[in-house]
Amino acid sequence: MIQRVVDERAVEAAVTDAEQAIAEFDGACRWLAAARRGPMEPLAVEVWVFDKELAQVVLVKHRWRSWVPPGGKVEAGETPREGAIRELFEETGLRAELLPEPAAVAVRSFHPDWPVTLGLSYAAIVDVAAPFVAEAGQPVAWKRLDEDWESYFPDDLSRMRQHAAWLADRVSGH
């Protein structure tokens, strides 16, 4: 019984964040509404960590996904936002405040043999001088948004560029 309450809290938080996301991909909100009617796969979260100039993003080198944003699955007892903060710290050593609006919501599979699930992308802005503490075997680096990188998710770069541009417009008051 307790597990169901915890899971429902995470799902409700995911619905709220999905509805507030700046960008929606893959019909994610429609997918989530249908997925709630049955057993759901674990929710996925990631953090798009930008520098103050919005020219770079923090990525981790996953053993087979190549360069991806820090993230993972939401664990029992936490909301997606809490899971994103935890994953960011575990994979990079960074403690950052997530921006109020989620950056994006998408539906994707994180492995060819796994079913698709809902992924929420959050954003944060940190100083490039902040030190990294990488997980073993998973290097962390700043990657420039005006350069390409190898990734299991080729759409990530354009999505992050779009969000950086959206953030820049908000900062400059446009």
> Tokens 């073993």 — which residue?
136
**pLDDT value of residue 1:** 30
User: Can you give the C-alpha Rg of the chain in angstroms?
Assistant: 16
**pLDDT value of residue 64:** 87
**pLDDT value of residue 116:** 87
**Does the pLDDT at position 172 exceed 90?**
no
Single-letter amino acid code for the residue at 51: D
Question: Is residue 62 very low, low, confident or very high in pLDDT (cuts 50, 70, 90)?
Answer: very high
Query: How confident is the model over 87-107, as pLDDT tens digits?
Result: 999 999 999 999 999 999 999
Domains of the chain: 2-172 (3.90.79.10)
**pTM (two decimals):** 0.91
∠ CA(80), CA(91), CA(60), 5° rounding? 105
